[in-house]
Each structure stands twice: as structure tokens, then as C-alpha cells.
Structure 1
Amino acid sequence: MNILIIEDEVKAARSLENLILKLRPESKIIAKIQSVEGAIDYLSNIPSPDLIFMDIQLSDGISFDIFKSIKIHCPVIFCTAFGEYAMDAIKENGIDYLLKPFSEADLKNAFEKVDNFKNFFQKTSENTLIEMIQKINGQENKKKSFLVFKNNKYLTVKTEDIAYIYINYTSPTIVTFKSEHFDVNQSLDQLAAQLSSREFFRLNRQYLINFSAIKEVEHYFARKLYVKLTIPTDDKLLIGKEKTSLFLSWLEDR
């Protein structure tokens, strides 16, 4: 199996290569690429590999930009530290979505999915494929509520009542549509992985917002977007130009 790795962190790419060859020694790593531009150039001139391992946030942008320039025909396993791109990944030949740091067992399971669905991409519709992979990855069973502790009481906060989650100093705080604040002991990455990527979007390293909380979106200078919520935030919510197309696509995909 000819495998291409698209990953901007050299150590991460080398570690992934070693793990792949440990599990599938018959495989060949045909290249390791660090950028969107490099991937487009490579895939435009070289026959398609059998499988691609792809990080999402690369040195010069988001890897989904690769799919806008060229057609990729092989399965893709996305490897990222962010959970909010899951549905976008599925739409772009994503056979699995590994959250960093992932284990050898996670990678082994990913290869098993590739084996099971090797011919599946050629004979099914995109909607059916999304449904099937959602079931495999547990997308249909996202967390419905969180247990929080405040004023010496344990309370349950439904995810549908969460307007946004943000990093308050060092730890995340849940803010509800009633402007209630609840501190949680998980990281923002962990929380994002448990929430539906259709309903929640990771704006940046500090904010995770609910679609229902969005009041309006404005153009901002330097090709950024300014997001206003129905619940006030301590910070001005800006989306960088490298993420604007992904965010607008998420808004449209209802």
C-alpha cells in the first residue's frame, strides 16, 4: 500500500511513519508533505496513493483547501488535535478521524476501517457514506449533557442549553443561554470532541460556540470575520482568513 503523509510537524510525521510501518510493514511511505501548496503540487503530478494521512491545520492553511484545487480519489485518514472538523473530513473521503494524541490501537482500528471500506467509496452515495461513517465514529451519539459542580451542588447542563464554552484563564467555562457560568475540568479539545460538530464550532483556541447562539457575522479588516453572539462575550470573536471559508461552509450546512 502506497501511503502519503501530509503533516506540517516533522516529529509528528516521523512518529506516524514509524507507527504505520510497525503495523503495516508491507506499506510504503511515498512522501511526507508539510503544506497545502506542496500537497496540491505533489498530487497534481504524481499518481494517486492508496491512502493519505492528513493533518488539518497545515503550515500555510487548512488542508480542506487541497480538495478545492484537486480531486482526491483515495481514502483519507485525518489526524488532528481539533474535533470540530469531523463532518467536513467525512465529506472529503474521510474514512477515519483521529484526535491527537492517538494510540497504536487507534491507528490499527483506522486501518481496519480502510480494509472494510476499500471498495465502498466507488459504489455508494455521499449521503449514505456519511451516515455509515458517522455510526462508526460515534457521531450520532454525541454527549447530550455535562455534569457540573457549583455552590456545593452537582447540576446537569444540557448541551442544547450551552451558548458557548471559552477558556477562562486556564480552564474552560460553560456559558448557557441564560448567562449561567459553570467551570469544567476538561480541556477545550476534549469538550469539542464530545459535542456535535454540526452544532458547535471551534472559532479559535479560546472559544467553542453553538450555532444557535450566533446573532450575526460581519466582515472585518484583513479578511477576517467578526462573530456576534446572542450572549455577550468578554472578547471580540474574530475568525482568521485561513478559517473563514470553513466557518461559512459550516454555517451553510444546516
Structure 2
Amino acid sequence: MNIIIVEDELKTARSLEKLILDIRPGATIAGRYQSIESTVRALSQEVQPDLIFMDIQLADGLSFEIFKQVSVTSPVVFCTAFDEYSIQAFKQNGVDYVLKPFSREDIEEAFKKVDTLKNFFQQKLMPDLGQLLSKLGTTSGKTSFLVFRNQKYTTIHTDNIAFFNIRNDATCIMCFDKQEYVISQSLEQIAQQVSPRQFFRINRQCLLNFAAIKEVEHFFLRKLHVKLVIETKEKLLVNKEKATRFLAWMEER
């Protein structure tokens, strides 16, 4: 079993590693990371461990940001000194939630939960359950957004939205008919609401609808230039860290 540890306190990370290897001698610690940035970079290299032990409060922010920037398919055991994030943790691949200071019993219990879930999804009576849940998860999502313009409220269906973007510190909706609307929600909030099969956050400023893509071409520094079926004022670029995952997302159709 390949395991990675995401923990910004070196002493805690070493203690956790020792407990893991004591409980599972055959396990391999494939990496230890101290920040959101380093974890995203590692997971972007198409390396998906069998299990992740992840602190929630890292030096550069909450680890939930990792899930917004890179696809994480591994089960996650969250470790934290606070219990206020428990609900959000279980929305992000969380199979257990361990409060610091954790004990050997806490880590043993976490492994038991991981093993139970693994055995459940491998049952011969339900061979396609994993695929079914995956499909259900990728097709669900918010279908419309309420906007206010010219003293009127109206709803915009997500199928009519080419992309969401940030402009002048405001979140905007750009429709296929080139109508633009300002919305109160942040791009992070919208990304969590829409279907990940339909929309992809190509960079910090843009969340893109698959139907809006006309073609993609290589750009400088191993980036990708995304051209849409409608004109945009600025080039839409995907950085090299997200390029592979973006092309895989396009290929999934």
C-alpha cells in the first residue's frame, strides 16, 4: 500500500509515519508534503496513492483547496486539531476524521474503515457499483443560476453558460449568446455546485463549459491555449500542471 502524508508540522508527520509503518509494516510512505502547492504538484504528476493522511490546516491554507485544483481519487483520512471541518472533510473523499493528538488506536481504526470500504466495493455481487457511483457523481450538478440585472431577477440555465470568470474582482457569467451577468458567488463556490463532467476550472480565473470548446492548441512553456466557439477578450490558458488532467477530462466524453 502506497501512502502519502500531507502535514506541515514536521514532528507530527514523523510521528504519524512511525505509527503507520508500525500498524502496516508492508506499507510504503510514497511522499510527505507540507503545503497545498506541493501536494497539488505531486498529485498532478498522475501519481495517485492508495491512501492519503491529510492535515486540514496547512501553512498556505485549508487542504480542501487541493481538491479544487487537482483530481483526487484516493481515500483520505483527515487529521486535525479542530472538529469544525468534519462535514466538509467527508465531502472530499474522507473515510475518517482523526482529531489531534491522535493515538495508535485512532490510526488503527482509520485503517479498519479503509479496509471495510475496499472490501465492500470489491464484492462480486456488486461489480459495477464503483462505476455507477462515479457516473452519478459526474452527472449531477446545479442546473441554473439566479442573476439580477436591470432591476430584474432571471435564471440562466447552465447549458447556456459558456464559462464563468473573474473580472475586476467580480465573478461573471458569459453565455453563448455573449450576454454577461455578474453573480454574487465566488468561482470556488460555483465550481463545487456545477457538474465536474460539464465544467472544468482551467485556471484561477475561468471555469469552462465543455460545450464551449472549439479547439485546443499547444502554447509556450507547455501550456495549452483553449479556443472557444465564441470570441474572448483574453487568451484562455491551461498551465502545464493542469494540462494532462484537462486533456483527460476532454477525453472522458
Q: Cα distance 1:127–1:245, how it changes in 2: closer, same or farther (>3 A)?
A: farther
Specify the SS of the correspondent of 2:27. coil
TM-score by length of 1: 0.67
Q: Post-superposition shift, 1:201?
A: 0.8
Gaps of 5+ in 2: 19-25, 55-62, 79-83, 97-112
Instruction: Tell me if 1:107 matches 2:108.
Output: no
1:126 & 1:180 partners in 2: Cα distance? 46
Q: Which residue of 2 aligns with 1:6?
A: 6
2:214 & 2:90 partners in 1: Cα distance? 43
Q: Cα distance 1:217–1:140, how it changes in 2: closer, same or farther (>3 A)?
A: closer
Q: Post-superposition shift, 1:64?
A: 3.9
Q: Post-superposition shift, 1:3?
A: 7.3
Equivalent of 2:16 in 25, 29, 45: 29
1:107 & 1:66 partners in 2: Cα distance? 23
Cα displacement string for residues 3-57 of structure 1 (whole angstroms, at most 9, x for unaligned residues):
74236xx37x99xx79xxxxxxxxx6218xxxxxxxxxxxxxx7247xx999875
Q: Post-superposition shift, 1:215?
A: 0.8
1:218 & 1:188 partners in 2: Cα distance? 25
Task: Give the conservation status (yes or no) of the 8 Å contact 1:3–1:53.
Answer: no
Q: Which residue of 2 aligns with 1:234?
A: 233
Q: Which amino acid aligns with 1:216?
A: E
The count of corresponding residues between Structure 1 and Structure 2 is 211
Q: Cα distance 1:29–1:133, how it changes in 2: closer, same or farther (>3 A)?
A: farther
1:85 & 1:60 partners in 2: Cα distance? 7
Q: Cα distance 1:142–1:220, how it changes in 2: closer, same or farther (>3 A)?
A: same
Task: Give the conservation status (yes or no) of the 8 Å contact 1:83–1:197.
Answer: no
Q: How does 1:94-243 map to 2 (within 5 A)?
A: 94=75, 103-107=85-89, 110-111=94-95, 114=114, 117-123=117-123, 128-132=129-133, 140-243=139-242
Specify the SS of the correspondent of 2:203. coil
Instruction: Tell me if 1:63 matches 2:4.
Output: no
1:93 & 1:59 partners in 2: Cα distance? 13
2:197 & 2:77 partners in 1: Cα distance? 17
Which has the greater radius of gyration? 2
TM-score by length of 2: 0.67
Specify the SS of the correspondent of 2:47. helix
Task: Give the conservation status (yes or no) of the 8 Å contact 1:95–1:133.
Answer: no
- Alpha-carbon RMSD across the aligned residues, in angstroms, is 4.0
Q: Cα distance 1:6–1:59, how it changes in 2: closer, same or farther (>3 A)?
A: closer
Cα displacement string for residues 122-171 of structure 1 (whole angstroms, at most 9, x for unaligned residues):
44788631433676xx6554101001111111100011111001101111
Task: Give the conservation status (yes or no) of the 8 Å contact 2:44–2:242.
Answer: no
Specify the SS of the correspondent of 1:29. helix
Q: Which residue of 1 aligns with 2:74?
A: 93
Identity of aligned residues (%): 35
